[in-house]
Structure 1
Amino acid sequence: MDFELGDRIRIEKDGNVYEGIVMPTTTDHVVVKMVSGYNAGIDPEGATITLLDKAQPKPSAKKTPEGKAKASKKLPKVTILSTGGTIASKVDYRTGAVTAQFSADDIVDAIPEITEIANIRGRVVYNILSENMKTEYWTELAQAVAEEIENGADGIIVAHGTDTMMYSAAALSFMLKTPVPIVFVGSQRSADRPSSDNAMNAICATKVAVSDIAEVCVVMHDSACDDRCAIHYGTKVRKMHTSRRNAFQSINSEPIGYVDYSTKKIETILPYTKRGTHELEVKSTLEPKCALIKFVPGADPEILSYYIDSGYKGIVIEGTGLGHVSTDWIPNIRRLTEAGIPVVMTSQCLNGRVCDRVYDTGRDILKAGAIEGEDMLPEVALVKLMWVLGQSGNLEEVAAIMGTSVENEITECTLK
């Protein structure tokens, strides 16, 4: 065949015409990325294939992974920290890979509108798939945020993969007291797709980063349309869909507010900490040996014994309904708490509040020493427990802090 990866071709077969860029394939089919942004795989047998354009040579890279785009003295300074997100990702059609290009120039090239909002500096903290996140990376990220604030950043944007962004946002919410906005942002769809949400999310995140909302928050699409982004507390947000652009929703809370994409105006709904209220404070010590366990009917209570015997320091149980497990789990919950290992009960229901005082099983769970997780999301309770155990090993103190709202993770009255 007279074409190579990256060439633009036309394929005519069975009365249909396909035009696009040649992509890599592991089959005998020819795969092209069409103007629509979607890929099509066509069996070349019986097809007429015409070469339209040859691929352009890839320019040599001269950009550095860190740097500052052309600055305006009148605009506030915002640092974008990359953890491996796709805000400025590009597709190399010769390999088919989506690669993160992350100098300040790359960000500006991909989303030039943000230079009208702030002076942008880019910094790579690490470059991983978000499912490879570890507790030590949260510590590195918190320290990087603190360094940028100390160096004069008026706001921080953290570009993060969406799958575990809620964990990282919760971690930094507990680890940092911040005088400026710290905004997590990601993209549900890669930059090469016409339906990509990367630009709108980044622009809205930049507006929040220069606002007076000095919270650790998540800014993502609020609807399937390109109308506005929601500003979520970092401890109240969850990814609720695998691929929709408005996958992120506040649970047991309203969002802090919204950014109107057309006007770039921010409307706030809930109270928030204002810029400059706090001095920068970092408490980044975490206890990584904590586990989140999902209870299911018939689950063997010896699951808990494994965590005791493996040296775990804290357990969050995602129970049913109001925060229940079967009665044969209760002796092992007692064994955990008597060994000085806190056990926090949360609910698989997500919406609503744990209350273990309604039924006998719940009362027995409390007598065994478990801590009610109030209306915290299970993953937030896990991250909070890691953080609390990093500050104190006293079980009574741990229980008191876990039952107290530190960073908006517990609401006084849960929404119905």
Structure 2
Amino acid sequence: MVYEGYVRDFLELSDINVGDIIKIEKDNITHKGMLLEKPDYSNENTLIIKLNSGYNIGVDIQDAKIEKIADGEKPKIELDPVDKQISSDKDNLSILSTGGTVASVIDYKTGAVHPAFTADDLLRATPELVDYANINAKAIFNILSENMNPEYWIKTANSIYDEINNGADGVIIAHGTDTMHYTASALSFMLDTPVPIVLTGAQRSSDRPSSDAFTNLMASVTATKSDIAEVCICMHSTEDDPSCDLHRGNRARKMHTSRRDTFTSINMNPLARISNNKVKMVDEEVEYFKRDSTELAINDNLAEKVALVKMYPGISPELIDIYVDKGYEGLVIEGTGLGHCSDEVITAIARATDENIPVVMTSQCLFGRTNMNVYSSGRRLLHENVIPVADMLPETAYTKLLWAVGQSDESDEIRYIMQSNLKGEINTTLSQRYFIKN
């Protein structure tokens, strides 16, 4: 990570860069060493330097005197090529990196963490991979997951399509965790796949003893060798390391900022649990797309303007009007309770539907499903042609509406698409037992 705020401004003003040799004097103690990149867990006012002894220390720059002793270069990893051990007896596995913590390697000389852009980088970080598959790894882009957008989803879908079309028996997507569930949901609608597609990430970087990168990646490899040919998310099932859960990509959500078991399947169990290189179905009665049961296909037409709007007390109906005036092609409402919003907002929504803008209703409760026949506000929304989508997650409804509007500009067809269970995004057997994480 880069330094930010006051520290960044100070470094720029002093012409000090990562890799430079600096001297820091504070409280009558002097430290000399190489300036390192900022770890994600360090204090915002702290500089990290590597001492000649090899140890890294952090020094708060408040009331410190800092001087650059010598220019340096940003650390580079220069190692011999890795023996990939290609074998006809192994599955062919493609690993595509979009960025994120899981696809990184450590330069142990400097303590810096860098993105893994090549198969060699990835295999050095996880040499065990070659025991399980022939690895083809590449970076399709390198972004923070909060910078993900529909244009990147389209590029990712096409990259996956090419890998499968060229013979991949499974595809892993290395992705930042913050928006992984959006990407997984979007890919589930854009792709029909005969092989497993697994998104994975890490909550803690590979330079930390508690990193989950290795466990998640190896479990994802096991998942790609399974019979579950869907877009899935594979992450820790508990805070400990023994197992990972395989979630349906359009049924999962990130539920914690830092826990390693941050992902939860909503309104259903995970598809499977992975431990000791084995995949065990969690619910034997659940239906899923099986390997080679579907022909490879891609439909990557997405709308350009769809908005996800959260209802809250005091929300102004002008927000809906703004989206209409700006030419948005669809709206997903994250309503309260069973799928409600205020009377004033209903009036604005009526204007949107009168102008043939599809409006979809979900619930911010997450667990349970919408039912707009219970209260008068819900019935008014139904009268205004709002589309309820049962227990579909708001994020899933957003990505699906982007896709649905990309398929048709006919209101009835969009309604039919949104209310049809295409890729397991609607749970038709909802039960109270899914209210808590299993």
Answer whether TM exceeds 0.5 for this pair: yes
Matched with 1:364 is 380
Instruction: Say if 1:22 and 1:93, in contact at 8 Å, map to a contact too.
Output: no
Cα distance per residue 1:216-243 (max 9 Å; x no partner): 1000001000010000001000000111
Is 1:266 the counterpart of 2:283 in the alignment? no
Change over 3 Å in CA distance of 1:60–1:345 after alignment to 2: same
Is 1:111 the counterpart of 2:130 in the alignment? no
Instruction: Say if 2:105 and 2:121, in contact at 8 Å, map to a contact too.
Output: no
Matched with 1:354 is 370
Cα distance per residue 1:117-169 (max 9 Å; x no partner): 11100122111111111111111111111111110000000111111110110
Q: How far does residue 22 in structure 1 lie from its aligned partner after superposition?
A: 6.3
Instruction: Say if 2:234 and 2:245, in contact at 8 Å, map to a contact too.
Output: yes
Is 1:242 the counterpart of 2:243 in the alignment? no
Q: How far does residue 29 in structure 1 lie from its aligned partner after superposition?
A: 6.0
Change over 3 Å in CA distance of 1:409–1:295 after alignment to 2: same
Is 1:125 the counterpart of 2:147 in the alignment? no
Is 1:276 the counterpart of 2:289 in the alignment? no
Q: Residue 339 of structure 1: which of 317, 342, 355 is its match?
A: 355
Q: Residue 329 of structure 1: which of 341, 345, 358 is its match?
A: 345
Matched with 1:49 is none
Instruction: Say if 2:339 and 2:362, in contact at 8 Å, map to a contact too.
Output: yes
Q: Residue 410 of structure 1: which of 392, 413, 426 is its match?
A: 426
Matched with 1:52 is none
Query: Which residues of 2 match residues 12-411 of structure 1 at below 5 A?
Result: 23=36, 31=48, 40-41=58-59, 58-60=76-78, 69-91=84-106, 98-260=113-275, 263-269=276-282, 270-411=286-427
Q: Distance in 2 between matches of 1:100 and 1:205?
A: 19
Change over 3 Å in CA distance of 1:68–1:211 after alignment to 2: farther
Q: Which amino acid aligns with 2:379?
A: R
In structure 2, list runs of 5 or more residues that go unmatched.
1-17, 65-72, 433-438
Tell me which moved more, 89-98 or 344-353.
Answer: 89-98
Change over 3 Å in CA distance of 1:45–1:94 after alignment to 2: farther
**Secondary structure, aligned partner of 1:98:** strand
Instruction: Say if 1:346 and 1:377, in contact at 8 Å, map to a contact too.
Output: yes
Tell me which moved more, 128-137 or 230-239.
Answer: 128-137
Instruction: Say if 2:19 and 2:75, in contact at 8 Å, map to a contact too.
Output: no
Change over 3 Å in CA distance of 1:59–1:265 after alignment to 2: closer
In structure 1, list runs of 5 or more residues that go unmatched.
47-54
Cα distance per residue 1:180-204 (max 9 Å; x no partner): 0000011111111111100000000
Change over 3 Å in CA distance of 1:6–1:253 after alignment to 2: farther
Q: How far does residue 175 in structure 1 lie from its aligned partner after superposition?
A: 0.4
Identity across matched positions, percent: 45
Change over 3 Å in CA distance of 1:29–1:114 after alignment to 2: closer
- Name the TM-score, length of structure 2 as normaliser: 0.82
Instruction: Say if 2:97 and 2:103, in contact at 8 Å, map to a contact too.
Output: no
Q: Distance in 1 between matches of 2:347 and 2:251?
A: 32
Q: Distance in 1 between matches of 2:219 and 2:44?
A: 41
Cα distance per residue 1:294-329 (max 9 Å; x no partner): 111011111111011100000001111111000111
**Secondary structure, aligned partner of 1:148:** helix
Q: Distance in 2 between matches of 1:369 and 1:149?
A: 40
**Secondary structure, aligned partner of 2:273:** strand
Aligned length: 398
Q: How far does residue 114 in structure 1 lie from its aligned partner after superposition?
A: 1.7
Q: How far does residue 103 in structure 1 lie from its aligned partner after superposition?
A: 1.1
Q: How far does residue 69 in structure 1 lie from its aligned partner after superposition?
A: 2.7
Q: Distance in 2 between matches of 1:357 and 1:40?
A: 59
- Name the TM-score, length of structure 1 as normaliser: 0.87
Cα distance per residue 1:252-296 (max 9 Å; x no partner): 111101101xx2111013332111000101111000200000111
Q: How far does residue 215 in structure 1 lie from its aligned partner after superposition?
A: 0.7
Instruction: Say if 1:291 and 1:314, in contact at 8 Å, map to a contact too.
Output: yes
Q: How far does residue 94 in structure 1 lie from its aligned partner after superposition?
A: 8.7
Q: Distance in 2 between matches of 1:81 and 1:171?
A: 16
Q: Distance in 1 between matches of 2:56 and 2:148?
A: 29
**Secondary structure, aligned partner of 1:329:** helix
Q: How far does residue 71 in structure 1 lie from its aligned partner after superposition?
A: 1.1
